[in-house]
Amino acid sequence: MGPRLRVSEIFFSLQGETRTVGLPTVFVRLTGCPLRCGYCDTAYAFSGGSWYEIDEVLDQVASYKAHYVTVTGGEPLAQKPCFELLQALCDAGYTVSLETSGALDISQVDPRVVKVVDIKTPGSGEAAKNRFENVSHLLGHDQIKFVICDRADYDWAKTILQQYELTQTCDVLFSPSYQQQAAGELADWIIADRLGVRLQIQLHKYLWGDVPGR
């Protein structure tokens, strides 16, 4: 028996965020997360799920006949076999992205994977867990995301942006916290400050609301 992962769900939908927004994508949501962000919309993935061997995950992903695969959570890197899963998906020819909190070490992630690192703002309640050492492991195809809850979060994110010269490393996304920070207001701030970031809204929320597995 090979490595196993506890999987909350595997589903097919449109990518709601990042550079591939709108593209049909298979999502592999792993169970468990060491963080408890105040705006978390996947608390159901904190526990439960079913055990899968990596080959079983690959078989189910293949059934959707898609090109893009996103491994998400929870916090997928909390399960060590996630690294092997990511490699196996890349070996199978998929374009693979990883959604991670950035609180755990990303240095061992297969370099073919697009890492989407969510730097936690103060409004999340988990900013103390940011692992800024991860910035040195980002590649040009990776992406950094800030979920902005209010003006204080925005100002804090601007400071981090400048301190670590993030826009010179990879794409940076500013995302308004759903039903907490108005997207239009955040857009105005970005324009006024001429930030080199991309405004991102959660497309799936506008299409289907808070529906799990969409």
CATH number of residue 55's parent domain: 3.20.20.70
**pLDDT for 119:** 97
Provide CB contacts within 8 A for 30, sequence distance 6+: 5, 6, 7, 8, 45, 49, 71, 72, 73, 74, 75, 76, 78, 79, 82
In a domain, 214, yes or no: no
Which residues does residue 30 pair with via DSSP β-bridges, in sequence order?
7
Q: Is residue 182 situated within a structural domain?
A: yes
Whole-structure pTM over 0.75, yes or no? yes
- Structural domain contains residue 112: yes
pLDDT, average across residues 98-124: 97
Per-residue pLDDT reduced to its tens digit, 138-164: 999 999 999 999 999 999 999 999 999
Residue 65, by phi and psi: left (phi above 0), alpha (psi -120 to 50) or beta? left
CA 20 to chain centre: 12
User: Which domain does 52 fall in, by range?
Assistant: 4-208
**Which tens digit of pLDDT belongs to each residue from 4-36?**
999 999 999 999 999 999 999 999 999 999 899
Judge whether 213 lies within some domain: no
Q: Which helix (H) or strand (E) holds 52?
A: strand 50-53
> Is residue 52, in this structure, part of any structural domain at all?
yes
Total domain count, the chain = 1
Task: Decide if 177 contacts 148 (C-beta within 8 A).
Answer: yes
Least confident of 133-137, 175-179, 203-207: 203-207
The rounded mean pLDDT for the chain is 94
Task: Give domain status of residue 136, yes or no.
Answer: yes
Cβ partners under 8 Å of residue 43, min gap 6: none
Q: How far apart are CA 193 and CA 188, in angstroms?
A: 9
pLDDT at 211 over 70: no
